[in-house]
Amino acid sequence: MSKIVIAGGGWAGCAAAVRAAKLGMETVLIEKTDLLLGLGNVGGIMRNNGRFTAAEENIAMGAGELFEITDRLSTHKNVDFPGHRHASLYDTRAIEPEVRRLLQSLGVEIRFMCRAVDVIMDEEGKPAPRIQPAEGDAPRRVKALKLMKANGGHYIEDILRGDVFVETTGSTGPMGNCARHGSGCAMCILRCPAFGPRVSLTAKAGACDLTGERAGGVPGAFSGSCKIDKSTLSKKLQKKLEKDGFAAVPLPEHLVNPGKLSQKVCQQYALPEFAENVIVLDTGCAKLMTPFFNLEQLRTVEGFENAMFSDPYAGGKSNSLRYMAVGERDEFMRARGFENLFLGGEKSGFFVGHTEAITTGSLAGYNAAVTAAGGHLLELPDSLATGDLIKYAQDALTEENALQRRFTFAGGEYFRRMEEKGLYSTDPKKIKKRVKEAGLENIYNKALM
């Protein structure tokens, strides 16, 4: 049996693991923290705008397992809030154990508190060449990952060999980047001080990663929301959130700061309403739709008099920085210049979102398994939103302003494109038919060979 090694257990890594395991591969998922889902533990918004279409395309292609969980654990469905329609909000307090159980039931070996720190290439004993693969070079093969794994209170070195590798380590932090280009470690869910920094495996293998920028060409972009402990909000606000899933509380004029919108990753939320109001969504916690908010000022807003941040803990001051290490890849999600290394999630492009991570991670995991089995790699066609997004984000890298653009089914330039191309639909039957016409119905579950 071939072995697929996946580094990084966020939504993208979990999706890759589901696909590889379901295709009969020995699947090992390594995760530096003690939790799966990474940033998925602090998000929760699904099915808003074009994400509905993308979720249904994935389901029709046979990658419905994770959407089944997010749908089942959504405490609010069909929520409309400024700029967004028909959102589902999953309970961020309940999602991780369910995903963990799914992966375990599929036989995925999950190694927690295990951090990839380097790449060993195919030639025995030789370190990875630290040079960018060039056009015409023979593709490189990864042989193993060097790991630091927890052993009691210490970390020890280990080597993990595999046949095909998937990198889904995300693009957030680590602390040095958050300090240099943000305003310090905000103590986010990735908990670098406790579990060690994210490591870019493509960079370790010699490739040059891309670093996203925010306005003014400053590296990285702030994560776009924080979590407040819901029980610290006024009873009235808690009731409103539990009933409607969302609340918009107008800000006093002196606290309206439209400049903050341009710092955000999530340009789909860079709308005036998000500067003029405090917008909160009920994801089990109260999801505050702004990168950070001075606590003293926040507590002057009605309903927030006793507010306490629960992620990032320093949400009164700052947030994590993302898009620090995006790898280059082809339409099969294979890292450019490598034969057996695939990328998914934020590692694979300037993508924003859980649905986007599941979409790219599923394709990466599927193609990793295909590579191991010696079959034909799958490319998703641009007649589907999922395929179109993957291509569009890739093509955009050669265009103007490439490092400042972000791609999500949920809004901004890509959702506009979905609408213009007629790709946006909320009719599951129509979406299923489109997938069938593309010859991809249940493709992800068809035996390889």
Ligand X SMILES: Cc1cc2nc3c(=O)[nH]c(=O)nc-3n(C[C@H](O)[C@H](O)[C@H](O)COP(=O)(O)OP(=O)(O)OC[C@H]3O[C@@H](n4cnc5c(N)ncnc54)[C@H](O)[C@@H]3O)c2cc1C
- Amino acid at the residue 124: E
Query: Which residue among 65, 96, 163, 346 contacts ligand X (CB under 6 A)?
Result: 346
Subset of 303-342 contacting ligand X (CB under 6 A): 320
- For every residue of 98-116, DSSP letters joined together read HHHHHHHHTT-EEE-SEEE
C-alpha distances (whole Å) from 245 to each of 278, 284, 354 are: 14, 10, 19
* Least Cβ distance, residue 11 to ligand X (angstroms): 5
| Interaction of residue 12 with ligand X, rule CB under 6 A | yes
Size of the site for ligand X (CB under 6 A): 38
Is the CB of 18 or the CB of 438 nearer to ligand X?
Answer: 18
Select from 58, 202, 225, 277 the one that contacts ligand X (CB under 6 A).
Answer: 225
Query: What tokens appear for 313 in the block?
Result: 């803990």
By beta-carbon proximity to ligand X, the closer residue of 194 and 208 is 194
Among residues 168, 290, 318, 367, which is the contact residue for ligand X, using CB under 6 A?
168
Q: Of the ranges 66-74, 243-251, 347-355, 434-442, which one interacts with ligand X (CB under 6 A)? A: 347-355
What is the Cα–Cα distance from 414 to 21, expressed in whole angstroms? 31
Does 110 help bind ligand X (rule: CB under 6 A)? no
Pick one of 61, 63, 178, 190: the residue that binds ligand X (CB under 6 A): 190
The smaller minimum CB distance to ligand X, of residues 197 and 428, is found at 197
In 16-135, the DSSP E strands lie at: 26-30, 45-46, 74-81, 84-90, 109-111, 114-121
Tell me: does residue 38 bind ligand X (CB under 6 A).
yes
170 sits near ligand X (criterion: CB under 6 A): yes
Contact with ligand X (CB under 6 A) among 4, 39, 110, 187: 39
Q: Interface with ligand X includes 169 (CB under 6 A)?
A: yes
Distance CA 306, CA 303 (A): 8
Calpha distance 166→146 (Å, rounded):
14
Is residue 11 close enough to count as binding ligand X by CB under 6 A? Answer: yes
Q: Are 13 and 166 a contacting pair, CB within 8 Å?
A: yes
Spatial distance between the Cα atoms of 396 and 208, rounded to a whole number of angstroms: 17
Specify the DSSP element, H or E, that contains 414: helix 412-420
**60 Cβ partners below 8 Å, 6+ apart?**
431, 432, 435, 436, 440, 441, 442
Q: How far is the CB of 51 from ligand X (least distance, A)?
A: 7
Q: Which is nearer to ligand X, 361 or 387 (CB)?
A: 361
- The site for ligand X (CB under 6 A) is made up of 7-13, 30-33, 38-40, 42-45, 115-116, 168-170, 172, 190, 198-199, 223, 225, 320, 345-347, 352-355, 357
